[in-house]
């Protein structure tokens, strides 16, 4: 850059030089501000300083030194204590200043019409220009002499780059909280905090500029290339937040997750990351409201967290419905065309040439047809190639929408005359129930995602063989729609600590955990002594069991600690308290001290601790304290939890105090993570499907046995015959009881678990038995949340989210 002709030596050119590649030192901001350790000094300036040596208190004249070099020289000389004067060649005072200067530095070639008188006797004169001044005894810096100094800058830059690739203690500036009492609404708390710009947060946690894609001011996608850069870095500690069997109100697992990382990073100065699921907009506008945590332990901005985010669910909806459209269209075309017509349309002549696409060649290979020339297929081979012969009665792939809409639970498609009488009953599911969402949460790379998308079974053919997305030729298009959704979204907590929001699969028909990729990236970023805290949906009997048996198998990751969230409210319910109903006031049993109810209800907490111990992982109980809980009730729960095998039990006040209210929990988790870990899976994948279901029912739920309906047994036989028998099990069961009956609280025993049906998500990689009826499309209540949600047209602020 410094050898450019003067006509090109402009700020536009110099600003194009990336700071991390600036070995010429043309970006002067840090140097001028005194950050010498964090910048590169131009090689010419380094050479001048070596030649001048002891310059403190002396007068130095810079002549014709312009641009980056001139500014750098002046800055460095002044820092060394020299009195610096800079002037151009035609300055009227030049002759006088030359006679008084202790050192003179010529920064550019002398014009021919400018005379130079004698300098002060003994003065050091250095010429940085390429043509030396005739007749003068000068010390001349030729370009070749600068090579070693330029090389030194390059080495220094490379050392910095290497350091930037390595995990380190974050230089993270936390955001200060000023908790109010009473605690305001979640959206008021969120709006009162000013989040950091997401590029600032990214830099603080060690992300490089080319590893993030910024969405607005507070969100960014993180590229998967980071995993390759940090592949040799050791992982941090892996913490799962689960819970006891909840009330319909929820017990605050997301709030505990956020409070815990705020405590670890903002208060204990330990690198930590929260990994959360993206909420569906269905419940946000329905009955549940937002899902960003709550109180002073939440993700901000909470309205962006709950609405659209970076469009991942919309991408899933588009991909899912493209596949649904492809299924019905293929059946229509096969029903109305001959083999020859189908072949001519599927493999058309383009510019006089007929050729198979890559995905069609792959289908030919699966059919055992090893030909690449479309003209050489026999009539029989053409018929095998063009006809999927989908049996409409076996279609399991449904359309989706991210809205609670009960009237889409059963629909009829194909009623227009243009569909030529092809009518069938179908349904819509909510978008997060799509198998593509489950795949997004379990995939480990773009290639893995593409392969899983291709393996998705959408129906059977009329011979009983599975028909996949790959057979329909749509795999590549699905991958294109999902190429950005696979990248986790970076956000922050109220205290400025990092959060990944990625994937949000249903916790009943799917595994209910955030993505493997978010966890893997976070574990590299926090470093060996850091913590990644992720959350499992519903109680430990459902979300945690699936986390261990499904997610950990897919990721290969081993959890360090389980944090089991409990509330006095839920324990009282399990102890025989009145029903808890969303939207209805709590009965007095839940707002007044009742030690007997608490003691009786701790049986559920004890059972969930035992379930955790089945997997060999230490468990810390986090008691989410409400203002109506008495000290005696809190002490009783903690005492019983420790006696029942918990490593520790800690009351938490993060909802009202932020990270400060979860410091003791963070300290307990840190200690537990250093305990011996003997993690193991609950069952072997080689066992028959029915036996794997039985193990979960008996060891986790406490059932006496299972009972498969004839339809369920038929499906088990079919999946085994089709080669899917070695997949893990994802139980679809109510989360409101350990049994299949929501009204049975505490720890039910002696029951027979009825399996009404068995289905499969082959692309995601699990079999899911249905325990009773399981709705995949919620409905709106009489008074949905949308009554309270509004937009201020002047400020554009969202109101009413909670």
Residues tagged active-site: 253, 255, 277, 288, 507, 538, 626, 655
Pairwise CA distance, residues 18 & 508, whole Å: 49
Strand segments, DSSP code E, in 163-281 are: 212-215, 219-222, 237-243, 272-276
How far does Cα 706 stand from its chain's mean position? Answer: 37
> What SS3 state is found at 136?
coil
> What SS3 state is found at 652?
strand
* Half-sphere exposure in the Cβ direction for 771 (13 Å, CA): 28
Pairwise CA distance, residues 542 & 512, whole Å: 9
Helix (H) or strand (E) holding 105: strand 103-106
Encoding tokens for residue 338? 């001959």
Encoding tokens for residue 133? 């001044």
Contact 281, 319 (CB under 8 A): no
How far does Cα 205 stand from its chain's mean position? Answer: 14
How far does Cα 424 stand from its chain's mean position? Answer: 39
Pairing of strands 466-468, 424-426: unpaired
Measured in degrees and rounded to the nearest 5, phi and psi for residue 30 equal -70, -40
* Half-sphere exposure in the Cβ direction for 278 (13 Å, CA): 33
Pairwise CA distance, residues 249 & 626, whole Å: 13
> What SS3 state is found at 45?
helix
* Half-sphere exposure in the Cβ direction for 589 (13 Å, CA): 16
How many residues make up the chain in this entry?
802
- Dihedral, 398, 404, 405, 411 alpha carbons, nearest 10: 10
Pairwise CA distance, residues 511 & 527, whole Å: 27
> What SS3 state is found at 275?
strand
SS3 track for 573-612: HHCCCCCCCCCCCCCHHHCCCCHHHHHHHHHHHHHHHHHH
Is the C-alpha dihedral spanning 799, 800, 801, 802 positive or negative?
positive
Pairwise CA distance, residues 213 & 220, whole Å: 5
Pairwise CA distance, residues 637 & 260, whole Å: 20
Pairwise CA distance, residues 228 & 225, whole Å: 5
Strand segments, DSSP code E, in 235-378 are: 237-243, 272-276, 293-294, 297-300, 349-350, 353-354
Encoding tokens for residue 255? 């709030």
The answer, yes or no, to whether the previous bond of 721 is cis (omega within 30 of 0) is: no
Encoding tokens for residue 451? 């392969």
Contact 48, 38 (CB under 8 A): no
Cα-Cα end-to-end distance for the chain? 54
Encoding tokens for residue 572? 């009282």
Q: Which of 474, 169, 108 is closest to 325 using CA atoms?
A: 474
Q: Which of 323, 325, 321, 334 is closest to 420 using CA atoms?
A: 334
How far does Cα 193 stand from its chain's mean position? Answer: 22
Q: Is 196 left (phi over 0), alpha (psi -120 to 50) or beta?
A: beta
Pairwise CA distance, residues 682 & 701, whole Å: 13
> What SS3 state is found at 714?
helix
């Amino acid at each position: 850059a410094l050898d450019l002709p003067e006509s090109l030596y402009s700020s536009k050119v110099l600003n194009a030089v990336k700071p991390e590649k600036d070995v010429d030192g043309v970006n002067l901001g840090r140097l001028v501000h005194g950050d010498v350790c964090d910048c590169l000094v131009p090689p010419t300036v380094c050479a001048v300083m070596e030649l001048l040596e002891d310059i403190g208190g002396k007068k130095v004249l810079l002549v014709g030194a312009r641009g980056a070099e001139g500014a750098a020289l002046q800055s460095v000389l002044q820092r060394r204590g020299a009195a610096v004067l800079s002037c151009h060649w035609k300055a009227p005072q030049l002759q006088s200043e030359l006679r008084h200067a202790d050192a003179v530095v010529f920064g550019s070639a002398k014009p021919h019409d400018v005379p130079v008188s004698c300098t002060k006797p003994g003065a050091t004169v250095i010429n940085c220009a390429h043509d030396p001044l005739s007749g003068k005894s000068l010390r001349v810096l030729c370009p070749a002499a600068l090579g070693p100094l330029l090389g030194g800058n390059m080495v220094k830059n490379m050392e910095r780059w290497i350091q930037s690739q390595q995990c380190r203690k974050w230089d993270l500036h936390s955001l200060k909280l000023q908790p109010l009492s009473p605690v305001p609404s979640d959206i008021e708390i969120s709006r009162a905090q000013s989040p950091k710009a997401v590029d600032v947060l990214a830099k603080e946690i060690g992300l490089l500029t080319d590893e993030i894609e910024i969405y607005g001011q507070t969100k960014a996608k993180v590229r998967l290339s980071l995993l390759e850069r940090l592949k040799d870095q050791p992982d941090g500690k892996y913490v799962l937040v689960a819970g006891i069997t909840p009330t319909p109100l929820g017990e605050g697992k997301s709030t505990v997750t956020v409070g815990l990382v705020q405590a670890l990073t903002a208060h204990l100065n330990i690198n930590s990351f929260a990994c959360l699921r993206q909420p569906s907009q269905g419940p946000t506008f329905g009955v549940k409201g937002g899902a960003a945590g709550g109180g002073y332990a939440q993700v901000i901005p909470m309205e962006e967290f709950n609405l659209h985010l970076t469009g991942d669910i919309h991408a899933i909806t588009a991909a899912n419905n493209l596949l649904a459209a492809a299924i019905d269209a293929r059946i229509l075309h096969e029903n109305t065309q001959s083999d020859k017509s189908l072949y001519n349309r599927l493999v058309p002549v383009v510019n006089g040439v007929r050729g198979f696409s890559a995905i069609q060649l792959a289908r030919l290979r699966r059919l055992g047809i090893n030909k690449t020339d479309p003209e050489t297929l026999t009539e029989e081979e053409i018929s095998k190639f063009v006809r999927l012969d989908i049996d409409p009665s076996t279609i399991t792939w449904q359309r989706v929408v991210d809205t609670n809409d009960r009237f889409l639970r059963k629909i009829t498609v194909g009623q227009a005359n243009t569909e030529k009488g092809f009518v069938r009953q179908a349904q819509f599911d909510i978008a997060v129930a799509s198998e593509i969402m489950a795949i997004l949460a379990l995939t480990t790379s773009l290639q893995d995602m593409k392969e899983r998308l291709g393996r998705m079974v959408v129906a059977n053919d009329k011979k009983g063989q599975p028909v996949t997305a790959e057979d329909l030729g749509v795999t590549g298009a699905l991958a294109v729609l999902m190429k950005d959704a696979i990248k986790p979204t970076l956000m922050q907590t109220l205290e400025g600590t990092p959060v990944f929001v990625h994937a949000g699969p249903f916790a009943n028909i799917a595994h209910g955990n955030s993505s493997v990729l978010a966890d893997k990236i976070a574990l590299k970023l926090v470093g060996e002594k850091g913590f990644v805290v992720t959350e499992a949906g519903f109680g430990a009997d459902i979300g945690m069991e699936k986390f261990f048996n499904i997610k950990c198998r897919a990721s290969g990751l081993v959890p360090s600690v389980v944090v089991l969230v409990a509330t006095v409210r839920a324990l009282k319910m399990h102890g025989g308290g009145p029903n808890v109903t969303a939207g209805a006031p709590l009965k007095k049993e839940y707002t007044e001290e009742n030690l007997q109810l608490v003691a009786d209800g701790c049986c559920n907490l004890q059972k969930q601790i035992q379930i955790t111990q089945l997997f060999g992982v230490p468990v810390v109980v986090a008691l989410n304290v409400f203002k109506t809980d008495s000290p005696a009730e809190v002490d009783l729960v903690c005492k019983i939890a420790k006696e029942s095998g918990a490593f520790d039990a800690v009351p938490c006040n993060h909802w009202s105090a932020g990270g400060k209210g979860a410091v003791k929990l963070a300290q307990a988790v840190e200690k537990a993570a250093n305990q011996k870990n003997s993690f193991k899976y609950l069952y072997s994948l080689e066992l028959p499907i029915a036996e794997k279901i039985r193990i979960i029912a008996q060891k986790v739920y406490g059932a006496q046995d299972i009972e498969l309906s004839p339809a369920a047994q038929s499906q088990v036989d079919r999946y085994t015959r089709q080669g899917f028998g070695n997949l893990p099990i994802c139980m679809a069961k109510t989360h409101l009881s350990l049994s299949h009956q929501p009204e049975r609280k505490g720890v039910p025993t002696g029951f027979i678990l009825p399996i009404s049906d068995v289905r499969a998500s082959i692309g995601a990689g699990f079999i899911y038995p249905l325990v009773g009826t399981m709705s995949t499309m919620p409905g709106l209540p009489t008074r949905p949340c949308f009554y309270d949600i509004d937009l201020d047209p002047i400020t554009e602020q969202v109101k009413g989210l909670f």
